[in-house]
A = this chain, B = another copy of it.
Amino acid sequence: MATDILKAFKPLFYPRSLAVIGASSDTTKFGNIILSALLEIGFEGQIYPVNTEGGEINGLKTYRSLEEIHGEVDFAVLTIPAPAVKSSLEECLRKGVRGVEILTSGFRETGTPEGRQLEEEIARFARRGIRILGPNCFGVYCPESGLTILPGQNFSRETGPVGFLSQSGGLCADLGQIAKGLGIRFSKMVSYGNGCDVAAGDLLEYFFADPKTRIIAGYLEGVDDGPRFLKILRENKGKKPVILWKAGLTETGSRAVMSHTGSLSGAAEVWSSGLKQAGVVQAGSAEEMIDVLYAFLYLPPNAGPRVALLGGGGAIGVAASDSLDRLGLSVPVLSPPILEKLRAVFPPVGNSLKNPVDLGNPMIPPPMLRKVMEAAGEDERIDTLIVIQILFYILYQVRHRLRMDHQPLSQFSFQPELLKTCREIREKYQKAIILVLPDIVTDGKMIDLEIEWRRERDHYQAAGFPVFKTLDRAAQALSHFVKYHQRLRAEGPSTSFAEA
């Protein structure tokens, strides 16, 4: 069964050749944007532009019809007006095309009887042996084969563990860019729009079966067959983490969904309890979804709820304590023998050692921070270390004190030494370490700080440590991660997991 679905979707994700039907030399048209994107990202198969006018587009010979193409065509990208889609699908069937993505809009989402009917008609083609993505979508991104969505010409060619499904193409376009900086890489990303044939349920099944996908995430507006969708999730519970953002759960949102993809979004309570039973991590916004995905990519499975907050400053410790408490995480007082050791090193005045550990100054040099991290690492009461470094404070102050205001900030960074410490503590105590580097200063004159922030973030990330911009976001992501694993352990491996 798993191999069936992998086989069925192969033409969509790994076509050997594809046709862009409606290819255009007008750079403002989808027919040019998608063709250019495929060329630029470096699709590895054969690309055939198709346009009734023939000639040449982007340096490629352009065919007047599919028939004119001599070789086989596995996959077709349709960017032609809605009324022309049906006859184009007929042509695809005749040519033996096995998968299409229809970028065109003007179907169910218009809310008109004509639009709905047209969509029903094209959906019928799927029963005749062709799989359809869309209409009203941005298509497929598969870095392994070099397929990309609209526009997506500069998406990463590195492949990764995340399978992403989305009713919104814009969100895919955004996520592909956001992902680059965060080191999030995809097995496949699919924008399926109105989902007249291939939709959420099928894509879930595919991702569960796909050996390249380890984590599944998605943005849903409505699901046509909700019971089937939830059944698939329940049957595969525990196999791979699933993170979903279900939008349109308010009255206003539900109306917006109807105009966007013509879907019925459903009742909030039904969705929430259904997804919970199915073990899905539920996100409430794009930011939250991405943060959770990020946590699943960077945190070790033993990242637990008992947190040591190290560094930062007083207010950040108080705020963090509030946040963690509200999210069901704890900030335990360090064990008496550990506290004793710390007290022997740090004077009582100006230092709060209990946890949060605040050394009275946000500018804690790495050797001091190492002592605190050792203590938290050693302490059996602690599962997870959150290290807070107020970068702008540290960098500007260190540089300024040294009267070197014109030197690059990277020279004053604690990162090389702190990163080394993080690695050593992780090695020694096998505990999760999260970095929080607040990135909140947006003065145009301080762009060097943003450059340095990204540089440091990249170093920590490359070593496998997640970096968050605020404590609240780190806490929220950790909380989702911890709860997911707690549920999994509480319920034991699911049947599907045991069978696998």
Residue numbers of A with Cβ under 8 A of B are 27-28, 33, 82, 105-106, 109-110, 112, 151, 153-154, 166-171, 173-174, 177-178, 180-182, 219, 221, 247-253, 255-257, 259-261, 285-287, 312-326, 330-331, 333, 348-350, 352, 354, 356, 358, 360, 362, 390, 392-393, 396-397, 400-402, 438, 440-447, 450-451, 454-455, 457-458, 470, 472
Contact = CB atoms under 8 A, between A and B. Distances in A.
Interface centre among A286, A396, A470 (most CB of B within 10 A): A286
* Chain A to chain B: the 10 pairs with minimum beta-carbon distance, closest first: A170-B313, A168-B315, A250-B325, A253-B322, A106-B349, A181-B442, A259-B352, A181-B443, A252-B325, A260-B314
Contacts of A397: 151
A350 B33 CA distance: 17
Contacts of A256: 317-318, 320-322, 331, 352, 356
Given A106-B349, A317-B256, A447-B454, A440 B174 contact: yes
Nearest to A360: B105
Question: Chain A at the B interface: mostly helix, strand, loop or mixed?
Answer: helix
A269 to B, nearest CB: 15
A252 B315 contact: no
B443 A358 contact: no
Contact of A438 (B174, B251, B255, B458): B174
Nearest to A312: B170
A79 B33 CA distance: 63
B174 A331 contact: no
A441 B178 contact: yes
A63 to B, nearest CB: 24
A322 to B, nearest CB: 4
Given A250-B322, A285-B472, A325-B253, A455 B447 contact: no
